[in-house]
Amino acid sequence: MRAVAIKKGRSRGPAAGLQEMGTLRCEGCGEEFVIGHDLAFADKWLTDKQAHWLERVLAEEHEREKKHPDRIELPD
């Protein structure tokens, strides 16, 4: 696992060994997700790309009336 989005309030922050890279709020419900990267692979440019991907995933979950999971693995 190199990068993950973790729902705020469901854990005590990013998992051990992860650098917090930013926060994304779902436009559909307002839930917030912290994007965390493995310390050896922390990359701001990749975080921006992952945030756009995550926005689409969260929107699709609302379209399918599916709950957001507490943890979402992000693509590299």
- CA gap 72, 13 in Å, rounded: 14
| pLDDT of amino acid 9 | 81
Q: Report yes or no: 50 and 22 within 8 Å, Cβ to Cβ.
A: no
Domain ranges of the chain: 3-73
pLDDT value for 12: 57
Query: What predicted TM-score, i.e. pTM, was given to this entire model?
Result: 0.88
pLDDT by residue for the chain (76 residues), tens only, comes to 689 999 998 655 556 789 999 999 999 999 999 999 998 889 999 999 999 999 999 999 999 999 999 999 999 8
Classified as helix, coil or strand, 40 is: helix
pLDDT of residue 4: 95
